[in-house]
Amino acid sequence: MKKLFYLLIPLLFFFASCSDNDKEEVYNTFTVAVQLNYPAESHCKPVKDVLVKMTNTSDASSYESKTDANGKAFFKVPAGIYEITSTERRLANNQRVNFNGLKSGIVVNNAWNSAEVQNLDLNYSKSALVIIKELYVGGCPKDGASDAGTFSYDKYVILYNNSNEDVNIGKMALATSMPYNATGSNDYYDSDGNLRYASQGWIPAGQAIWYFQNDVILAPGKQIVIALNNAVNNTITYSKSINFDNPEYYCTYDIAVFNHKLTYVSPAASIPTSHYLKAAAYGKGNAWPLSAFSPTLFLFTPDGVSAKDFANDESKNDLYGGSEFLVSKKVPMEWISDGIEVFSINMDGNRKRLTSNIDAGYVFFQNKMGYSVYRNVDKEATLAIEGNKQKLVYNYNLGTGSLPKGSTDPSGIDAEASIKNGARIIYLDTNNSSNDFHQRIRASLRN
């Protein structure tokens, strides 16, 4: 018995040592105080229980805290480089408004001063009438063996009227920002880690914009599909691709401007030529350079000028990195109604291109798999519609929440199935893609 006792002593010492080390690691954290600052023009004051999030930019680990009545939130986080974000929605003057803030490059280490408050300035915006419902850009696997390759010329976007009134989108234009990919260098960042155009009130629209030829009236709860490449029945050749042979669809097709043969084949005969969006190009290239793995896409409506005339105004030019081959247009932020920022799952160094008043977040995306990024359902607003409750279909299972950096719709509502069942869907619109979108494992237009 005594011998057993002596044998246990070193074991107890070993476990105690391990426990002490674990405890030391657990408590090796730093206090971070974050103050939300509301813009004066919103006439809104801080409130309690607004969610604030800190994300470690190295490993994507995140920490959440809620504000007190003075709009201040407190965190205890390990050392790392962080970004701080917050999104809030309110009903003000009978209209839904959004507050979004993003602050990057917060270095927390042994030199951290816990008494210093991190001010998060919030941007103020209103929910858009017409939104980007789905963006499909990554292509799909070709038929045959797993190494058969990818078909990547079947991109599309779906625009949706999320409001209760008819909207004419005929003056609206589509644009993608510079640089085209979220990864790698970004010459728009200054030495302080800020996008230099953020304080100047514009977003760069790279190379070209697309615009409608005529008025297009979109009724409440209705959508239009815009094929961004090859507006034909691609499933004839690639079964996992998209069939765009539909007279209700639109397409980006202007062969006089962009003539890349693999990207722009003649659209299906069923699509009226009046449904072809026209291109206004001011940069070099024979195809619109929408990224296949980390794009941005934004919608804007020029004020007092046509989209074509705006694109032809050389006084609005900006040369990315000083290169005459990488020309952008300075789109005023107040013209932009909706935008989405996509980050690559497979590559490091993703950096924001859209400012926080346009999109305060991002959605991770895996290309080449037939996935899309799809907007989440605003469950509260959707349930509030009379007669909707019985038509909604739940148990949504097309998200990618089980995959690394994947995501799903937290509402649990299957939007497409519910629409087929006669329901009216209201989609979430907080101007923050981290909240508003998820990666869908199967594009909604796929057969």
Residues 389 and 317 in one domain: no
Residues 205 and 341 in one domain: yes
Q: What is the pLDDT of residue 19?
A: 42
Q: What is the pLDDT of residue 369?
A: 97
In a domain, 18, yes or no: no
Residues 140 and 245 in one domain: yes
Residues 118 and 155 in one domain: no
In a domain, 21, yes or no: no
Residues 301 and 334 in one domain: yes
Residues 166 and 257 in one domain: yes
pLDDT per residue, tens digit, the chain (447 aa), is: 444 444 444 444 444 444 444 444 445 899 999 999 999 888 888 999 999 999 998 888 999 999 999 999 999 999 999 999 999 987 655 456 889 999 999 999 999 999 999 999 998 887 789 999 999 999 999 998 888 899 999 999 999 999 999 999 999 999 999 999 999 899 999 998 999 999 999 999 999 999 999 999 999 999 999 999 999 999 999 999 999 999 999 999 999 999 999 999 999 999 999 999 999 999 999 999 999 999 999 999 999 999 999 999 999 999 998 888 899 999 999 999 999 999 999 888 999 999 999 999 999 999 999 999 999 999 999 999 999 999 999 999 999 999 999 999 999 999 999 999 999 999 999 999 999 999 999 999 997
Structural domain harbouring 150: 130-376+433-440
Q: What is the pLDDT of residue 95?
A: 52
Residues 256 and 115 in one domain: no
Q: What is the pLDDT of residue 16?
A: 44
In a domain, 12, yes or no: no
The CATH number covering residue 44 comes to 2.60.40.10
Residues 191 and 296 in one domain: yes
Q: Looking at 78, 101, 126, which one is the last position of a domain?
A: 126
DSSP codes, 1-55: -HHHHHHHHHHHHHHHHHHHHHHHHHT--EEEEEEEE--GGGT----TT-EEEEE
Q: Looking at 101, 126, 151, which one is the last position of a domain?
A: 126
Residues 346 and 422 in one domain: no
